[in-house]
């Protein structure tokens, strides 16, 4: 079994869906389930972010004339698609999508299924200008052939890279995904981590992070505390630590 990661980077104007993610960098779209056959692609995605960004991405994503799986728009691409928003709240949407194989459509999942046939497992994420696909493939297939097919016909507004992970990377537990945090808390936590706030010794102060985000320190402190609390409770719960009985306190006689 081999894991391959395809990462497509988009310039603005190359793809209607990715333009929304570029305009709203706080948006994250993750695949909850992807099923692919010669008949089409079925998938369920969770998109998280502020309400206005979610409304914008939903409007484009549920447009049946847009190929959401394609590497850019092709004038001869013909697809039949259907969408349904199965859950929505203030910070997230869960969207079901189906699209048939179509014609003349430049798509990583369809090209992969056509090249390698059955036995593939897919994962995907959109964020900023990057749309990343991870594929588990049985055996040791000629993945270079697939990469060449995908490269052929790409516009200059889309660049594609490929890397193989020698050992399978952790596909993760969706219950611990940072996408469950409100966007403002997630951004605070990510920025603090990137600037070295949690390094030992610290490379950045709370004031440095507040300046970077343009926030009062009190607001930043609140958001970090909420995010840290959620992260701690999630890790403790996932490892069953809440079920471990506390040892009785001992007192000196």
150-172 pLDDT, tens per residue?
888 788 899 999 887 666 665 55
Same domain, 60 and 111: yes
Last residue of a domain, one of 133, 167, 201: 167
Within a domain: residue 176? no
| pTM of structure | 0.70
CATH of the domain at 214: 1.10.10
Question: 190-199 — which CB contacts under 8 Å span 24+ positions?
Answer: 192/224
Same domain, 120 and 205: no
Within a domain: residue 162? yes
pLDDT confidence of residue 252: 55
Q: How many domains does the chain have?
A: 2
Per the structure, the complete domain to which residue 209 belongs is given by 181-242
Residues of the chain with pLDDT under 70: 38, 72-76, 101-104, 118, 165-179, 234-253
pLDDT confidence of residue 168: 63
pLDDT in tens, 161-216: 988 766 666 555 444 466 677 888 888 888 898 898 888 888 999 999 999 999 99
Residue 88 φ/ψ, nearest 5 degrees: -150, 140
The residues facing 125 across adjacent strands are 30, 132
| Euclidean distance between the first and the last CA atom of the chain, given in angstroms as a whole number | 61
Within a domain: residue 86? yes
Same domain, 156 and 44: yes
Last residue of a domain, one of 113, 144, 167: 167
Within a domain: residue 217? yes
Which residue in 129, 115, 140 sits closest to 71, CA to CA?
A: 129
Within 8 A by CB and 6+ apart from 96, the residues are 42, 43, 44, 83, 84, 85, 86
Residue entry with tokens 């048939």: 100
């Amino acid at each position: 079994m081999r894991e391959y990661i395809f990462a497509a980077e988009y310039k603005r104007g190359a793809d209607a869906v990715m333009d929304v993610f570029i305009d709203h960098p706080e948006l994250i779209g993750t695949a909850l389930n992807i099923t692919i056959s010669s008949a089409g692609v079925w998938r369920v995605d969770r998109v998280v972010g502020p309400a206005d960004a979610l409304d914008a991405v939903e409007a484009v994503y549920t447009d049946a004339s847009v190929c959401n799986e394609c590497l850019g728009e092709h004038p001869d691409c013909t697809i039949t698609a259907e969408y349904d928003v199965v859950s929505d709240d203030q910070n997230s949407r869960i969207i079901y999508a189906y699209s048939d194989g179509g014609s003349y459509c430049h798509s990583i999942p369809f090209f992969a299924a056509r090249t390698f046939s059955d036995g593939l497992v897919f994962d995907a994420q959109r964020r900023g200008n990057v749309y990343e696909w991870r594929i588990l493939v049985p055996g040791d297939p000629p993945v270079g052939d697939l990469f060449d097919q995908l490269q052929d016909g790409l516009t200059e507004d889309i660049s594609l890279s490929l890397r193989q992970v020698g050992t399978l990377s952790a596909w993760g537990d969706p219950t611990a995904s940072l996408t469950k945090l409100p966007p403002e808390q997630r951004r605070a936590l990510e920025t603090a981590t990137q600037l070295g706030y949690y390094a030992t010794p610290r490379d950045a102060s709370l004031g440095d992070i507040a300046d970077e985000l343009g926030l009062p320190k009190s607001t930043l402190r609140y958001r970090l505390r909420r995010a840290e609390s959620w992260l701690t409770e999630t890790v403790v719960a996932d490892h069953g630590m809440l079920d471990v009985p506390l040892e009785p306190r001992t007192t000196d006689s």
